[in-house]
């Protein structure tokens, strides 16, 4: 920890990450209720937050929401949300998709999302697969928020041995990470689907007793849309690698020409780096997966990470 800034409405701590030495600033916010005090807080934070190469994490209770959909059965003031949105845009902060809960504050039947964690573009770009989740409230009115950054397994991999073995182990390491990521994504999608269905069940039960409010109607429409999109995406991925073809046609070849000695000798020469890259990039991206579980789309996309290993295999 290199410095601390104390403010009536926030606490700012600066330091460096232990493993990389990267500078990071964490600001814990507890925003006031009055709009005039909020404006003072936004202005003070604007002067503090710098758009540089370091990491910035700004989180806490902002006592306002970004749009109408983040409140239910509680008062929404458009001007307050507009100024909050403008503040976030000015300091160029971003937010990951929140999982676990739709609202972070619940008091009686009043729900809102006044708690959040915002990060700088550098943090968002370096930790694209970070997990952002709201936990169970238990005895508090507020849900604890967790932002968990996941290490890049490809950059950290440093194998030893023959080049082909190193490449194979590297792909295996990536595949294991992708398997874990897929499990997490499926679990998050199932949780989202369950939460949406629960919201719709609760709203459908309300309709039998009374008319829905404008906000409740909006929530019902949005939940229905999200469920439909979720079902379409899952259905598309499920049918992506299926085919209706019962039996594949066979090919019989007769009178195949043979190579002469000169061409045959050229086949056993070492390949150049350009030839290797050209051969890889001319292959179809969506061809069947190899024994390592990766297709050419993956290899092309991350060529800079595996080209040295592929090229070194020729020797």
Say how many C-beta atoms besides its own lie within 10 A of residue 199's C-beta. Answer: 20
- Tens of pLDDT, residues 161-211: 777 677 777 777 777 777 777 777 778 777 878 888 888 888 888 888 888
Average pLDDT, the chain: 81
Q: How far is CA 127 from CA 33, 121, 123, 214, in A?
A: 33, 10, 6, 38
How far is residue 171 from each of residues 35, 52, 82, 299, measured CA to CA in Å?
53, 34, 47, 10
* CATH domain 1-150 topology: Deoxyribonuclease I; Chain A (3.60.10)
Domain ranges within the chain, ordered by starting residue: 1-150, 266-312
Residues 38-70: tens digit of each pLDDT: 999 999 999 888 777 788 999 999 999 988 889
C-beta neighbour count of 24 within 10 angstroms: 17
pTM of the model: 0.53
């Amino acid at each position: 920890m290199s410095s601390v800034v104390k403010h009536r409405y926030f606490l700012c701590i600066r330091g460096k990450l232990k493993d990389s030495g990267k500078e990071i600033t964490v600001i814990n916010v507890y925003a006031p209720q009055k709009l005039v005090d909020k404006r003072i807080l936004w202005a003070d934070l604007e002067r503090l937050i710098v758009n540089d190469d370091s990491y910035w994490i700004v989180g806490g209770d902002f006592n306002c929401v970004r749009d109408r959909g983040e409140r239910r059965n509680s008062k929404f003031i458009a001007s307050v949300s507009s100024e909050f949105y403008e503040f976030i845009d000015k300091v160029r902060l971003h937010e990951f998709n929140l999982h676990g809960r739709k609202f972070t504050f619940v008091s009686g039947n009043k729900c809102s999302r006044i708690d959040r964690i915002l990060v700088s573009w550098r943090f968002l770009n370096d930790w694209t697969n970070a997990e952002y989740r709201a936990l169970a409230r238990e005895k508090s009115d507020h849900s604890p928020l967790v932002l968990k950054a996941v290490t890049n397994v490809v950059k950290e991999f440093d194998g030893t041995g023959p080049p082909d073995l190193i490449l194979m182990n590297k792909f295996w390491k990536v595949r294991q990470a992708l398997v874990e990521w897929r499990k997490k994504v499926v679990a998050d999608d199932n949780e989202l689907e369950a939460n949406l269905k629960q919201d719709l069940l609760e709203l459908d039960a309300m309709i039998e007793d009374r008319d829905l409010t404008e906000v409740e109607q909006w929530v019902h429409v949005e939940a229905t849309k999200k469920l439909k999109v979720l079902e379409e995406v899952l259905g598309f991925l499920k049918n992506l690698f299926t085919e209706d073809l019962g039996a594949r046609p066979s090919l019989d070849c007769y009178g195949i020409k043979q190579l002469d000695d000169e061409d045959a000798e050229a086949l056993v020469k070492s390949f150049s780096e350009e030839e290797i890259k050209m051969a890889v990039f001319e292959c179809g991206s969506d061809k069947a997966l190899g024994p390592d579980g990766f297709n050419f789309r993956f290899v092309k996309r991350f060529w800079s990470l595996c080209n040295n290993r592929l090229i070194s295999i020729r020797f």
